[in-house]
């Protein structure tokens, strides 16, 4: 098994970039849905409401994370947004994420927190900037 682990470990940096890109695209869709109406969501949040600010973080943070630009800062803010979303909207309904509908918020929170410490991976603007 260690042979398999060592053979797969060489791809860990690239998989970090792939995880970042996939998470960013999914998160970005929440922001574009709230603020730009694409994909169409049932209703747009009121301007300057908490949900509107959340959409703003999702849109701008999603783009930054997708590019891998200022990744630790963007990921920290996005992780915080998801923690606030979880505890303000989901947690009051139930302790368990599977019952309160907060699975995605909890998972995003910890994935983004991971990027704060792990960085964006090699396929990122941050990696290009660090080479220069």
Q: How many CB atoms lie within 10 A of CB 79?
A: 20
Over residues 104-127, the pLDDT tens digits come to 999 999 999 999 999 999 999 999
Which of 90, 38, 27 lies closest to 60 in space, CA to CA?
27
Over residues 21-76, the pLDDT tens digits come to 999 999 999 999 999 999 877 778 899 999 999 999 999 999 999 999 999 999 99
Residues 6+ apart with CB under 8 A from 27: 58, 61, 62, 65, 78, 108
pTM of this prediction exceeds 0.85:
yes
- Cα separation of 77 and 74, whole Å? 5
Alpha carbon 41 to chain centroid, angstroms: 19
């Amino acid at each position: 098994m260690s042979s398999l682990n060592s053979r797969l470990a060489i791809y860990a940096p690239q998989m970090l970039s792939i995880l970042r890109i996939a998470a960013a695209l999914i998160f970005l869709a929440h922001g574009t849905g709230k603020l730009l109406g694409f994909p169409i969501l049932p209703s747009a949040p009121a301007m300057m409401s908490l949900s509107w600010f959340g959409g703003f973080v999702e849109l701008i943070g999603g783009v930054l994370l997708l590019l891998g630009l200022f990744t630790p800062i963007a990921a920290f803010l996005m992780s915080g947004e998801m923690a606030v979303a979880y505890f303000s909207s989901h947690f009051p309904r139930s302790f368990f994420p599977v019952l309160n509908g907060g699975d995605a918020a909890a998972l995003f929170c910890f994935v983004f927190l991971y990027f704060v410490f792990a960085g964006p991976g090699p396929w990122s603007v941050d990696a290009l900037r660090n080479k220069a």
